[in-house]
């Protein structure tokens, strides 16, 4: 399966946010979408989901117009972890993860054994069984992120778009979640994740897409994209042996 965004343009208040950007993600690969704040990464993701109207461009799933498909079929094929981690009610974490089964469940039916199994697998993946019964609003930011990621994983969709899945996580769980995403991809899913940690992106992803000012600035294997020239030009940083990297003025 291949999800493809072709020449996408999205404007906000007349200003281009995504400016003729194209990218694709295929079954079996973990693609890292990187770029400085305001590069248009989240907006591109939302446009791919049909959550943001685009001025032009196409979203194609295996060559066919993805947004023309019925909403419930799209929801089964494409799971999404938004950047916004707010939950409105004091719902128990278990209920949140079960919402991932929404596209698969009947309107008035109880969860099936398959739904429960998918939820259990998703909780395994994020190491989240410990706070299953706690209301989501008493969890820490990182714990909440893991539960919401489990919610997205529980869809068990062939494609996963994750917006900053490791933001707010401690180092242990950053590594853990990156391993989970890579495992998902190598088990056959297409995974596209917005990541700010360049070292983890380089270490775990199969391919990196670098966005800058709404357009794709570079794309390819991590080593080919994360060059000193790109880091200096787009991120205004330089690799530093002692610190990892240092800020350029």
Partner 1 sequence: MKPPLAYPLLIAVLALTLLLLAAFSMLVGAGGGLSELLAMIASDNADTATLIMMEVRLPRTLLALMIGASLGLAGASLQGFLRNPLADPGVVGVTSAASLGAVLALYSGLSMAFPLALPMTGIAGALLCALLLQGLAGRGGVLSLVLAGVAISSLCAALMSLALNLSPNPYAAAEIMFWLMGSVTDRSMDHVAFAAPLILIGWAVLAFSARALDALSLGEESAASLGVNILTTRNMVIGGTAISVGAATSVSGGIGFIGLIVPHILRPLVGHSPSRLLLASALGGAALLTAADILVRVLPTGAELKLGVVTALVGAPFFLWLIFRARTEIES
CB-wise, 151 or 212, nearer to partner 1? 151
Span from 55-63, 70-78, 215-223, 226-234 in contact with partner 1 (CB under 8 A): 70-78
> Is residue 155 close enough to count as binding partner 1 by CB under 8 A?
yes
Partners of residue 193 on adjacent β-strands? 32, 162
Per CB under 8 A, 144 contacts partner 1: no
Both tokens assigned to 76: 């089964």
End-to-end alpha carbon distance in the chain: 43
Judged by CB under 8 A, the stretch of 25-33, 45-53, 216-224, 230-238 that binds partner 1 is 45-53
128 binding partner 1? (CB under 8 A): no
Neighbours of 15 (CB within 10 A): 8
For the chain, the farthest-separated pair of C-alpha atoms sits apart, in whole angstroms, at: 59
Contact between 103 and partner 1 by CB under 8 A: the answer reads yes
Nearer to partner 1, 157 or 201 (CB): 157
- Nearest distance in Å: CB 241, partner 1: 41
Q: How far is the CB of 175 from partner 1 (least distance, A)?
A: 26
Q: How far is the CB of 153 from partner 1 (least distance, A)?
A: 13
Contacts for 135 with CB less than 8 Å, ≥ 6 apart? 90, 91, 92, 93
Question: Closer CB to partner 1, residue 15 or residue 86?
Answer: 86
Closest by CA position to 139, among listed 110, 168, 102, 174: 168
Q: Considering only residues 14, 37, 107, 187, which one is a binding residue for partner 1 as defined by CB under 8 A?
A: 107
* Binder of partner 1 out of 16, 28, 36, 92 (CB under 8 A): 92
Check binding of 95 to partner 1 (CB under 8 A).
yes
Beta strands (DSSP E) in the chain are 2-12, 15-26, 30-34, 56-61, 64-65, 78-81, 159-163, 190-194, 207-212, 215-220, 237-240, 244-247
Query: Is residue 116 involved in binding partner 1 (CB under 8 A)?
Result: no
Compare residues 9 and 77 and give the one whose CB is closer to partner 1: 77
CA-based nearest residue to 38, from 229, 215, 244: 215
Note whether 60 and 236 are within 8 A (CB): no
Q: CA dihedral defined by 220, 222, 225, 228, rounded to 10 degrees?
A: -160
Q: What are 32's strand-pairing partners?
A: 193, 208
Q: Give the nearest distance from C-beta 146 to partner 1 in angstroms.
A: 15
Segment near partner 1 (CB under 8 A); pick from 133-141, 165-173, 174-182, 227-235: 133-141
Taking alpha carbons only, the member of 126, 118, 115 closest to residue 150 is 126
The residues that touch partner 1, with contacts defined as CB under 8 A, are: 46, 49-51, 71-72, 74-76, 78-80, 82, 84, 86-92, 95-96, 99-100, 102-103, 105, 107-108, 133-135, 137-138, 148, 151, 155
């Amino acid at each position: 399966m291949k999800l493809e965004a072709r020449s996408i343009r999205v404007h906000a208040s007349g200003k281009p946010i995504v400016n003729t950007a194209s990218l694709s993600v295929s079954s079996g690969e973990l693609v890292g979408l990187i770029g400085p704040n305001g590069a248009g990464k989240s907006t591109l993701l939302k446009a791919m989901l049909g959550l943001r109207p685009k001025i032009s461009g196409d979203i194609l799933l295996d060559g066919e117009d993805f947004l023309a498909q019925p909403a419930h079929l799209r929801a089964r094929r494409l799971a999404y972890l938004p950047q916004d981690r707010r939950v409105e009610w004091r719902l128990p974490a278990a209920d949140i993860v079960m919402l991932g089964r929404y596209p698969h469940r009947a309107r008035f039916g109880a969860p099936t054994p398959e739904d429960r199994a998918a939820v259990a697998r998703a909780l395994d993946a994020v190491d989240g069984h410990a706070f299953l019964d706690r209301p989501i609003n008493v969890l820490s930011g990182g714990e909440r992120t893991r539960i919401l990621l489990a919610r997205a994983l529980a869809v068990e969709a062939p494609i996963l778009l994750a917006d900053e899945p490791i933001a707010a996580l401690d180092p242990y769980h950053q590594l853990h979640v990156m391993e989970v995403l890579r495992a998902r991809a190598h088990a056959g899913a297409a995974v596209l994740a917005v990541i700010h940690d360049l070292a983890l992106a380089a270490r775990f992803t199969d391919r990196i897409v670098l966005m800058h000012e709404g357009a794709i600035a570079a794309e390819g294997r991590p080593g080919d994209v994360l060059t000193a020239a790109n880091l200096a030009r787009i991120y205004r940083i330089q690799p530093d042996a002692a610190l990892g990297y240092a800020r350029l003025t």
